[in-house]
Amino acid sequence: MIDRLGTPYTEALHLVERSRLIDDEPAVEAQTRGIKEWPNIPAYPVDPDYKGKGLQLEFTVEDEGIFTMPWKGIITYGRALREYWDERICAENITHYEGRNYYSDKDAKPPTTSPTFERA
């Protein structure tokens, strides 16, 4: 099987997601490390005066039919300088932010049910 982004997987796929709040210092260190390791990936400016918790999201993917070993990803967020969070990954949200096209078609229509769909 292949997902919508072209990544192969089998029915044995096992995904573990973990979210947690972490202290300010480890959050800042994680964000700084991420910016250094992946300089081409844009990052939101973080509020330098905020000394509260950061949000860390971690996921682990296991699929013995595809991968030779489990793999994981981690991202850490701090409080952004912006007053709001943009919702960018959503089929119903076809807005183009800051001159960037995050969606395949600015005139795309939100998904709907088939005319023949019957609710149980």
List, as one string, the DSSP characters of 14-70. EEEEEEEEE-HHHHHHHHHHHHHH-TTS--PPB-TT--S-EEEEEEEEE-TTT-SS-
Residue that has been written with the tokens 């910016």 in this structure: 35
Mean of pLDDT values over 13-38: 89
Is 80 exceeded by the pLDDT of residue 61? yes
Residue 24: pLDDT band with limits 50, 70, 90? confident
pLDDT given at position 14: 94
75: its two tokens: 């991202």
